[in-house]
Copies of this chain bind each other. A is one copy, B any other.
Amino acid sequence: MPRAASDVYFQLFNEIGILEQLSRAVLEAKLPDGMLSSHFGVLNHLARLKDGQSPNELARAFQVPKTTMTHTLAGLKKNDLVKILPHPRDKRSKCVWLTDKGRRFRETAIHSLRPDFEKLSKQFSPKDVKVLLPHLEALRIIMDAQRDGE
């Protein structure tokens, strides 16, 4: 692979990294005190896809060590945002479920971001987003698959 090609990939992930920093700051500014983007991320994941997943599945989904997920889940559980039940068949494992409070919390957090999106939309329209989004999704799906692949 020629250097120029390698460089564009590097640039791509550099931009993604910067954008993540910026958007995380916007999100965390809206979250209540002890709440971190890692907590919100788990709530959002459970709500978007499905809850009842195991801590281990969550750890792999977030590319984070199991111990970190144990800790994050403990925080969510302490605030009654999730409930953690034993797995019905596998006695090693557990299942993480959203509580009603957890669902409401996520909804509220998303809602509170609307003014930020509103402001952004004046310079970067929803149509611009709709152009961008499919490409990002495609890239994400590919990278996700390559990760599982080995």
Chain B min CB distance to A132 (Å): 5
A132 near B123: Cβ-Cβ < 8 Å: no
A128: which of B13, B18, B63, B135 is its contact (CB, 8 Å)?
B135
* Residues of the B chain whose Cβ atoms lie less than 8 Å from the Cβ of A129: 8-9, 11-12
Q: What class of interface size applies to chain A in its complex with B?
A: 35 or more
Residues 85-105 of A, flagged 1 when their CB comes within 8 A of B and 0 if not, give 000000000000000000000
A20 to B, closest residue via Cβ: B20
Which of A50-58, A76-84, A139-147 lies at the binding interface?
A: A139-147
A48 to B, closest residue via Cβ: B14
Q: A12-B132, A41-B17, A120-B146 are in contact. Are A1 and B63 (CB under 8 A)?
A: no
Residues 47-77 of A, flagged 1 when their CB comes within 8 A of B and 0 if not, give 0100000000000001100000000000000
A139 near B132: Cβ-Cβ < 8 Å: yes
Can you list 22 A-B pairs with a CB-CB distance of less than 8 A? A1-B114, A5-B117, A9-B117, A9-B129, A11-B129, A11-B133, A12-B133, A15-B136, A15-B137, A16-B16, A16-B20, A16-B136, A17-B23, A19-B136, A21-B62, A22-B63, A22-B144, A24-B63, A124-B142, A128-B135, A128-B139, A132-B135
